[in-house]
Amino acid sequence: MARQLREVVFVDGVRTPFGKAKGQYAETRADDLVIKCIRELMRRNPDLPPERVDEVAIAATTQIGDQGLTIGRTAALLAGLPRSVPGYAIDRMCAGAMTAVTTTASGIAFGAYDVVIAGGVEHMGRHPMGEQVDPNPRIVAEKIVDPEALSMGNTAENLHDRYPTITKDRADAYAVRSQQKTAQAYADGRIQPDLVPVATRSAEAGWGLATTDEPPRPGTTVEDLAALKTPFRPHGRVTAGNSAGINDGATAALLADEETARELGLPVKMRLVSYSFTGVEPEVMGAGPIPATEKALSQAGLTIDDIGAFEVNEAFAVQVLAFLEHFGIADDDPRVNPFGGAIAMGHPLASSGVRLMNQLAATFAEHPEIRYGVTTMCIGIGMGGTVIWENPHHSATQDEVA
Amino acid sequence: MVSTSSTNRYIDDAELRELLDRASALSEAEVVTEAKARDVALPLGAGTMVLVTLDNGHDHTRPNTFGPRSLRSLNEALDAALAREDVVAVGVTGKPFILAAGADLSGLGGLTSRDDAKMIARIGHGVFAKLDREIGGKPTFGFVNGLALGGGLEVGLNCTYRTVQDSAPALGLPEVMLGLIPGWGGAWLVPNLVGADTAVRLILENPLNQGKTLTGHQAFELGLADAELGGADFLEQSLLWAAKVLTGAVTVERPEVDRGEAWDAAVAQGKGIADSKTGGASPAAYRAVDLIAAAKSSTKVEGFAAEDEALADLVMTPELKAGLYSFDLVQKRAKRPAGAPDRSLARPVTKVGIVGAGLMASQLALLFARRLQVPVVLTDLDQERVDKGVGYVHAEIDKLLGKGRVGPDKANRLKALVSGAVDKAEVFADADFVVEAVFEEMKIKKQVFADVEKVVSPEAVLATNTSSLSITEMAADLEHPERVVGFHFFNPVAVMPLLEIVKGEQTDDATLATAFATGKALKKTTILVKDSPSFIVNRLLGRFMGEVGKIVDEGTPLAVADGAFAGVAPMPPFFLLSLVGPAIALHNNETLHGAFPDRFYVSPNLQALVAARKTSVYLPDFSIDPEVAEIFAAPADGTALEPAAVRERTLSALADEARRMLDEGVVAAPEDIDLAMITGAGFSFWNGGLTMLLDREGISEKVTGATFH
């Protein structure tokens, strides 16, 4: 049988407002967060018959408790999707949702699915990173992984060592800009369209409604950040201010075979070009996006100069700066994270991949002159993940469609 | 600042606060449902809503209730929200799964004066009335997120708009069942919102139909809510809907209420329901009818005032006291049967044997299979009877399948669980619980148990569904008499909640505990009874029927006797006789006569009826069968009693019998008699079963020299 690969498109994506651990979602279940995203996706796309959803892939790093029980399947049932719609759980730490997207996208390209839901959730308040992990003693005994690799903060310090030109001041300046850009994006109403309001239970205060991200600190200055402690090393560089926080949140995206999307009248916000996951030394996991992006570019036959928009996950400022330095991009290049990033908005591990995609899609819609964009992130235990997308609003791609 | 005091036409705000304080002082032990107010930025830029969450700090097993302190908390929250100019609307919702279960009933029993009772009515009205835009000054939204009964539903009904969660399990106004009326606005608001017809259904028909409630979806269909939303994001979507209403994106349209003849017809129908269900015996039902009738033309303030008066009157009635007593029996005592051994002593039941394959046995087989989901084997004398019994059960399962009560897989599972055999030896060998439902004769039952004992393990429980025979005697000749227990169901088995569990002299605790655990798994109300003739319900009904039979035999027309018990028994005595079957009723009377010849009468006319093979006193059109009338013809020198005298003489006999049963230790307390009569004989909630009624009418004192309570 002759097979033809099919084009995969990003139809739509939503997320909950992100919360600080023990903050607005302290009494809200993790699965409920992602269920509300799935419901909203279905509501926003009424032309999609629910039974046409062929898969629900939901990522979570810590798959226990309310993030366990094969969360993709249970979330689908609890969201009211037909029982015929299957689902499963995915884990690639920070790149969980990104992996949910690429894995199901591969299924679409292969012809196994027409339409899928891919997303992620991490309720770090309920499930702190490392909850109930049981590392194999050979990791230490045989020096397979530097034990420091298991602490993400240490890996960020290690990355500063690798790039001595990336100073604490540069990292702090980057972090302040992230806060400023997020505040501006909120003021301009760019973030809100893809947020799903979440009713927040509080036994003490009664029900509330979460409509905005809780983590941002809009007025942050470099002076504020300079005063922060460096918990991972004495006189180190990594602080709570130039890192993403410990957060709760969920995301979900709708992907489809391009023809199916057009047949059903679904919007096409982005077209998948290529993706790559690449391993690096676990103790400098923040370097991961560099080889992952190079590989994805090479698969696509593109160079870094073809990329008009970047959504780089800000687990740590140093990790973004290392990426930019490697590719010769300025720290304040306007193509990079125009809405700010995880340092301001938060990084609920396995959910963040789709947040990057939502924001890239928003940038594409505003900028038809941009043809290609990148979403990329570093991943614990030493990996990077990159997805390259094409802007369907770009004139060149418009011609192709026509 | 919006002053609520100047616009609250129902009650002056200062007076309301004073009443709330006064009532709160009487309510020290109240579990307070706090009104927790929080600002919510509504979507679509609709502005700020103050969202009030009702939460008593417990989980869903202890629902929110409204006592005075809870109302005071809500009052303060509403005042604060309504006074704010930056607030566009107020929302009210509940803790997870629960809006509120209504008024705090524990406080009602302690009210000692009509004034105090009226105060409770007024504070509820006064606080809830602020949810009226005309009074409070802001549009309000009731987000009915789960269980909402009585005052819990009324808090929503008082709001300008309502959303309801489609799967919410229990919505209703059950007050009339207890002996109250929906007195915090329900009786006026419901007919004015959705018409008198639906009001009659909600306020009268459902409460008097075993307290039936609505799902959220049903409530929406009836117009009690303006929107229904799914549970996955009910509150988020409710807030969005509220924002759409406030911004004009959604216009709430409600059908015009028919204020013409339909209203009067509904009221007449309500009166008919009150008559047929209570026979004039429960004032609450009639007050509810009156309130619905008056709501046709009264203003809201007038309607609320009428509810105040009705509630104040009713709280002081013995029927309410009895209603609360009955409520407590079925809610609490039924769940912790008096005298039952520790449940840890119960043995697991993994297979059930049933001796007999007749109608009763088949009904038992269906019940055991459905509830315990373990193999059930019917045995009988020959294959034909066995096949008939199993066939009956399988046909009943098919009926359940046809009605959608079980799915095809479940139907297959249940059918596979029920089998039959002629030879007990193999099929009973691994049964843990064998119940016999063979002919009601001691010799036969003893033989059955002797046969069963040969094939079952020494621990297997042997239960008898006898309605009158001695458990002790039945067990006497067995090798293990300690494993025999009485397990007496009521017909129809699937419907009647009562299961009398009878302890023989040698019955051990493990057997008894297993019987109680099994009864609970069968979802029956279990009551421990001493081994005694006809146990509780049949003994009292036997005395009742015997006395009525004697009165008719002595010359009172049958129709007069049948008309004398409205409001006492669920149906007239000769209806009951026809339902049970004259032969079975006669058998019960004869058995009791054998035990207590002085008190239990065997009617020659009833014997003649049975001899004539009549199965009913009434024809299908409910007229008395002329041939039966001939059998029951009054003797030439007879005495015809008036209905009141029939009633008093019969109730006196019941008072005498109930007192004797307590003296003999047949049951632990009068509460067990009443629980049995409510759940096994359909006696009324508002009478408190039997003994509360006998006390209230002075009969206990007159007959026995003392009251039961």
Which CATH number characterizes residue A98's domain? 3.40.47.10
Degrees to nearest 5, angle at CA A311 with A307 and A314: 140
Give the number of other CB atoms < 10 A from CB of residue B395.
Answer: 11
Same domain, A261 and A277: no
- Domain match, A281 and A172 both: yes
Residue A345 domain-assigned? yes
Measured in whole angstroms, the distance separating CA B375 from the mean position of its chain's CA atoms is 31
The structure tokens 């002629």 sit at: B422
* Domain assignment present for A231: no
Domain count, chain B: 3
Q: Do A256 and A347 fall within a single domain?
A: no
Nearest to A209 among B40, B52, B57 (CB): B40
Residue B692 lies in a domain: no
Residue B407 sits at the chain A interface (C-beta within 8 Å): no
A161 and A116 share one domain: no
* CA nearest neighbour of B568 among B690, B698, B705, B385: B690
Residues B381 and B516 in one domain: yes
**pLDDT in the model for residue B5:** 41
> Which residues span the domain enclosing B577?
537-665
Residue B360 tokens, joined: 């009763």
Same domain, A38 and A166: no
Residues of chain A in contact with residue B40, where contact means CB-CB under 8 angstroms, are 208-209
B40 three-state secondary structure = strand
How far, in Å, CA of B7 to CA of B525, rounded?
Answer: 51
CB of A79 less than 8 A from some CB of B: yes
- How many other CB atoms sit within 10 Å of the CB of residue B608? 15
- Cβ–Cβ contact B232 with A under 8 A: yes
The stretches in chain A having pLDDT less than 70 are 398-402
Domain that includes residue A49, residue range: 8-127+245-271
- Tokens of residue A131, six digits: 């909850």
Which residue has tokens 């099929």? B427
Q: Specify whether B509 is located in the same domain as B636.
A: no
Per-residue pLDDT averaged across B345-363, rounded? 96
Q: Which residue of A has its CA nearest to B41?
A: A209
Query: Are A207 and B51 within 8 A, CB to CB?
Result: yes
* Position B154 pLDDT exceeds 70: yes
Same domain membership, residue B524 and residue B415: yes
Gap from B93 CA to chain A (nearest CA, Å): 8
Q: According to the model, what pLDDT value does residue B8 have? A: 62
Q: Please report which confidence band the pLDDT of residue B6 belongs to, taking 50, 70 and 90 as the band edges.
A: very low
* Subunit contact A208:B96, Cβ cutoff 8 A: no
Name the residues of A annotated as catalytic: 94, 347, 378
Q: Has residue B106 been placed in a domain?
A: yes
Which residues of A are less than 8 Å from B165 in CB distance? Answer: none
Nearest CA in chain A to B93: A207
B41 touches chain A (CB under 8 A): yes
| 3-class DSSP assignment, residue B6 | helix
- The pLDDT confidence band at residue B2, using thresholds 50, 70 and 90, is very low
pLDDT at B1 over 50: no
List CB contacts (< 8 A) between B36 and chain A: 202, 204-206
Q: Are residues A115 and A143 in the same domain?
A: no
Interchain proximity B240–A35, CB inside 8 Å: no
In a domain, A397, yes or no: no
In a domain, B704, yes or no: no
Q: What is the pLDDT of residues B108-120, one digit of tens each?
A: 877 889 999 999 9
CB contacts, 8 Å: B142 with chain A: none
| A205 in any annotated domain | no
A287 and A151 in one domain?
A: yes
Q: Quick one: closest CA in B to A80, which residue? A: B232
> Residue B397's domain is classified under what CATH number?
3.40.50.720
Residue A4 burial (CB count, 10 A):
6
Claim to verify: residue B376 and residue B468 sit in the same structural domain: yes
Q: What is the DSSP string of A189-216?
A: TSSGGGB--EEE--TTT--EEE-S-S--
B44 touching A (Cβ < 8 Å): no
Structure tokens at B514: 């297993």
Examine the domain organization and report whether B504 and B554 are in the same domain.
Answer: no
Residue showing tokens 């609520």:
B4
Residue pLDDT, tens place only, B239-275? 999 999 999 999 999 999 999 999 999 999 999 999 8
CATH number of the CATH domain containing B648: 1.10.1040.50
Using CB atoms, which residue from A202, A204, A209 is nearest to B239?
Answer: A209
Residue type, B416: A
Angle between helices B300-315 and B114-128 (to 10 degrees): 150
Same domain, B519 and B625: no
How many whole angstroms separate alpha carbon A376 and alpha carbon A257? 22
Number of domains in chain A: 2
> Helices (DSSP H) in A266-328: which residue ranges?
289-300, 317-327
Measured distance CA(A122)–CA(A96) in Å, rounded: 10
Residues on chain A touching B57 (C-beta within 8 angstroms):
203
Whether residue A348 sits in one domain with residue A302: yes
Q: Are residues A60 and A120 in the same domain?
A: yes
| B162 shares its domain with B107 | yes
Percent of chain B with pLDDT over 90: 87
> What is the average pLDDT score of chain B?
94
pLDDT of residue B622: 85
Q: Are residue A83 and residue A184 in the same domain, yes or no? A: no
Closest to A308 (Cα-Cα) out of A379, A396, A385: A396
Which range (B53-57, B74-78, B467-471, B503-507) has the least confidence?
B467-471
**Reported confidence tier of residue B151, pLDDT bands at 50, 70, 90:** very high
Residues of B in contact with A211 (CB under 8 A): 41, 43
Task: Specify if B192 maps to a domain.
Answer: no
Contacts of B43 in chain A (CB under 8 A): 197, 211
Does a structural domain hold residue B337? no
Instruction: Point out the domain boundary residue: B648, B665, B682.
Output: B665
* Pair (A251, A328) in one structural domain: no
* Residues B68 and B177 grouped into a single domain: yes
Q: pLDDT by residue (tens digit) across B533-580?
A: 999 999 999 999 999 999 999 999 999 999 898 878 888 899 989 988
Band of pLDDT at residue B209, cut at 50, 70 and 90:
confident
Q: Does A208 touch chain B (CB under 8 A)?
A: yes
Q: Is the domain of B507 the same as that of B541?
A: no
Domain check: are B589 and B612 in the same one? yes
Q: Are the beta carbons of A200 and A207 closer than 8 angstroms?
A: yes
Q: How far is A269 from chain B (nearest CA, A)?
A: 24
Kindly state whether residue B307 falls inside one of the protein's structural domains: no
Q: How far is B59 from chain A (nearest CA, A)?
A: 10
Distance separating alpha carbons of residues A351 and A94, to the nearest angstrom: 7
Same domain, B508 and B596: no
- For the stretch A238-279, pLDDT in tens is 999 999 999 999 999 999 999 999 999 999 999 999 999 999
Kindly identify which residue of chain A lies nearest to residue B39, measuring between CA atoms: A208
- Read off the pLDDT of residues B23-81 as tens digits, 9 standing for 90 and up: 999 998 999 999 999 999 999 999 999 999 999 999 999 999 999 999 999 999 999 99
Q: How far A214 CA sits from the closest chain B CA (Å)?
A: 15
What is chain A's alpha carbon radius of gyration, rounded to the nearest angstrom? 20
Query: What per-residue confidence (pLDDT) applies to B568?
Result: 83
Beta bridge partner(s), residue B215: none
Report helix, strand or coil for A278: strand
Closest-CA distance of chain B to residue A42, Å: 13
A228, part of any domain: no
Q: Kindly report the CA angle at A12 between A8 and A18, in degrees rounded to 5?
A: 125
Q: Would B284 be classed as within a structural domain? A: no
Residue among B230, B232, B235 whose CB faces A207 most closely: B235
Domain CATH for B92:
3.90.226.10
A205 lies within 8 A of chain B by CB: yes
d(CA A14, CA A2): 36
Q: Do B239 and A199 touch (CB under 8 A)?
A: yes
CB-nearest partner of B236 from A79, A199, A203: A199
Return d(Cα B448, Cα B446) in angstroms, integer: 5
Question: What digits encode the pLDDT tens for the residues A114-129?
Answer: 999 999 999 999 999 9
* B386 is a domain residue: yes
Q: Which residue has the tokens 């297979």?
A: B351
- In this complex, which of A79, A198, A205 lies closest to B38 when CB atoms are compared? A205
- Report how far residue B569's alpha carbon sits from residue B555's, in angstroms, rounded to the nearest whole number: 22
**A98 and A152 both lie in a single domain:** no
Contact A80 B230 (CB under 8 A): yes
Residues in B closer than 8 angstroms to A209, CB to CB, are 40-41, 51, 235-236, 239
Residues of A in contact with B235 (CB under 8 A): 199, 207, 209
Residue among A123, A120, A376, A345 at smallest CA distance from A251 = A120
Averaged pLDDT for residues B612-624: 90
* Cross-chain CB nearest to A39 (options B95, B233, B239): B233
Q: What was the pLDDT predicted at A14?
A: 98
Residues of A in contact with B51 (CB under 8 A): 206-209
A42 neighbors A14 (Cβ within 8 angstroms): no
What does chain B come to in residues?
709
Picking from B43, B51, B52, the nearest residue to A197 by CB comes out as B43
- pLDDT in the model for residue B111: 84
Q: Tell me which of A41, A202, A207, A212 to substitute to probe the interface with B (most B C-beta atoms closer than 10 Å).
A: A207
DSSP A27-42: TS-HHHHHHHHHHHHH
Say if the Cβ atoms of A197 and B57 lie within 8 Å.
Answer: no
Q: Where are the beta strands (DSSP E) in A16-134?
A: 19-20, 53-59, 87-90, 115-123
- Residue A154 covered by a domain: yes
B588 shares contact with chain A (CB less than 8 Å): no
Q: Is the whole-model pTM more than 0.90?
A: yes
Q: Could you tell me if B8 lies within 8 Å of chain A, comparing CB atoms?
A: no
Neighbour-count burial of B333, counting CB atoms closer than 10 A to its CB (0-12 exposed, 13-18 middle, 19+ buried): middle
B416: which residues sit within 8 A by CB, 6+ positions away? none
A211 vs chain B: nearest CA distance in angstroms? 8
Closest alpha carbon to B287 in B262, B316, B265, B326? B316
| B520 and B658 part of one domain | no
Q: Does A162 touch chain B (CB under 8 A)?
A: no
